[in-house]
């Protein structure tokens, strides 16, 4: 299940929390229901996968 789908299933007051670590995700640094730290980690993992498949 995608992070965005998980966030949509959360009660309204929990929707501002990171779906990975539970930290606040409403500081403008994250995306798709992730806080900035988790969003950065996911982005780095995706970049690593792309560079390995090239």
Per-domain residue ranges for the chain?
3-53
Q: Does the pLDDT of residue 4 top 80, yes or no?
A: no
Residue pair 7/19 in contact by the 8 Å Cβ criterion: yes
Model pTM above 0.75: no
Q: Return the DSSP state at 26.
A: -
- At residue 6, does pLDDT exceed 70? no
Task: Check if the beta carbon of residue 33 is closer than 8 Å to that of residue 7.
Answer: yes
Residue 15 structure tokens: 């929707």
| Residue-level pLDDT at 15 | 63
Residue 51 tokens read as 């560079």
């Amino acid at each position: 299940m995608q992070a965005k789908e998980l966030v949509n299933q959360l009660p309204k007051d929990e929707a501002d929390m990171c779906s990975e670590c539970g930290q606040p995700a409403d500081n403008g640094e994250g995306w798709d229901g992730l806080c900035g730290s988790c969003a950065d980690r996911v982005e780095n993992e995706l970049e690593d996968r792309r560079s390995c498949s090239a």
